[in-house]
Structures are given as C-alpha cells and as structure tokens.
Amino acid sequence: MSRLAGRTAIVTGASRGIGRGIAERLGRDGALVAVHYGSSADAAAATVEAVERAGGRAFAFRAALDLPDAAGAFYAALDEGLAGAGAGPEFDILVNNAGASGSGRIHQLTPEVFDRLFAVNVKAPLFLVQQGLGRLRDGGRIVNISSLTSRHAYPESVTYAMTKGALDTMTLALAKELGPRGITVNTVAPGFVATDMNARHRTTPEAAAVLAAHSVFGRIGAPADIADVVSFLVSDDARWLTGQYLETGGGAGL
C-alpha cells in the first residue's frame, strides 16, 4: 500500500504496544515514520526494524515528555532524525500516543503521580501541537489516543481517566481551530488492548477472560485493531471527519 507515500508521520510512544502497531501500519501505508520513544532504545529499534522489514521507512528518536521543555527537546531530536533520513522539518501526521498510567484509586493518589500523568498525557501533546503547527502541512492529520476511561467510570485509575478527558477536550478545540487549514483532529479511544500497560491485569487466564468479556467479540483488543482505525483517520478517505471521538473497544459497554 502507498496511500501515504511522500508523507511524514510522527508517532509518540512508538517503541511498543499500540504505538508500535500504529508505526508499523503507517509504514506499510508508505509514510516515513518517526518512531518516538522515552526510554527503551532497543524496543524502538525493533519497531524501526519491523517497519523496514515490511518495506517501509522509519527512524527512532528519543525525548522525555515529562520535562519542563519537553516539546523543544522533542523537536530538536526529531529534526536530527529527519535530517538523517534525508527529509525536511515538515511533517503531515502527528499521532499523540505516548502515555503514562498508574495513578490508582483516589485514596492512593499522590501529587507526584498526578503531576507526571498530566505532564505526559496532557501538557506534552498540547505543546507538541503548538510548537509543531508551523511545520505541520496544510491538510495534515492529528490523532490523539485517548481511552474508554474518559467516557466510562474507571475509579481504578482516576487521574489517568482525567488526563484522557482533557485530551478529548483538546481534540474538539483543535479541530475547530485548525479546520481552516484543512487539518483534521480526531480522538481514538481504545478499550482493553494486549499491551505492557495492562499486563498486570492479564496474569492468569481467568483475569484475561474478564477483560475479554468487556467486548462483544469476546476477546482483548490487539494493537493492530487500533492501528487500522488510525490508518483510516490519517488517510484522504477521512478528510470530512474531524473533532470526533471514535470508540475502539470492540463494542465494550453495549
């Protein structure tokens, strides 16, 4: 497939899980994929290798998203990677996928965890967009990876759910703000997906079955299930779709 040929896509938190799935799919679609990671260089390299093995182009770059000037450091590292790939600073697609979790219930919350989750899940995506608008081409795409926890009660991780609610609100505002440039902004909200983030909830077959039962299909989601939806949203086929919240939970809660 080459429907994204000639385009550059940035996927944050792409070293594993949903982010890796998205990077691999966009690479197969023909985009040059900038694989962002925060700590695991080996995992990011594995993502790049998977993209290239499928005939795509990708490179990895590191930037911590919980620092005061995260956006500035992010774009400095990105520029270095783009130059190495023979590409200019402009890009067409930004997928805000990176996220921190683990706040627990209200009585378990600490100010330090609260600050970190909002820094990574809310502040970083907002300022990545702000500082990237000058290089995001007209007709570009922004996809924010949220969670069903923003629309369904999830007291097990109250702060995480709050950050995803903020991300949903950001989608609405940016969709209206950037519409005149032909830039679409949409939210994708996965349910339970088989990733490292929720591995602790799948330690036994019985526990995994409980998660699978949330979906009408009776299974836990796979990164590819989310990646395929993102692939549609960043394509020309989704040109008339913006400001939307797409539940990708396999019918969870029906």
Q: What's the pLDDT tens digit per position in 87-107?
A: 999 999 999 999 999 889 999
- What per-residue confidence (pLDDT) applies to 93? 98
The structural domains of the chain, with segments of one domain joined by +, span: 8-248
Q: Which of 52, 32, 51, 150 is nearest to 93 (CA)?
A: 32
Percent of the chain with pLDDT over 70: 97
| CATH code of the domain occupying 8-248 | 3.40.50.720
Q: What are the CA-CA distances from residue 215 to residues 189, 196, 218 (Å)?
A: 14, 19, 5
Give percent above pLDDT 90 in the chain: 89
Least confident span in 33-42, 191-200, 208-217: 191-200
What length is written for the chain?
Answer: 254
Q: What is the pLDDT of residue 203?
A: 61
Q: DSSP readout, the chain?
A: --TTTT-EEEETT-SSHHHHHHHHHHHHTT-EEEEEESS-HHHHHHHHHHHHHTT-EEEEEE--SSSTTHHHHHHHHHHHHHHHTT--S-EEEEEE--------SGGG--HHHHHHHHIIIIIHHHHHHHHHTTTEEEEEEEEEE--GGGTS--GGGHHHHHHHHHHHHHHHHHHHHHGGGT-EEEEEEE-SBSSGGGGGGGSSHHHHHHHHTTSTTSS-B-HHHHHHHHHHHTSGGGTT--S-EEEESSSTT-
Q: What is the pTM of this model?
A: 0.95
Please say if the pLDDT value at position 202 is more than 60: no
- Helices 124-132 and 158-178 pack at an angle, to 10 degrees, of 20
Nearest Cα residue to 81 out of 1, 3, 9:
9
Task: Please tell me which residue in 75, 154, 160, 245 is annotated as part of the active site.
Answer: 160
Identify whether 245 is a catalytic site residue. no
| pLDDT for 208 | 81
pLDDT of residue 198: 63
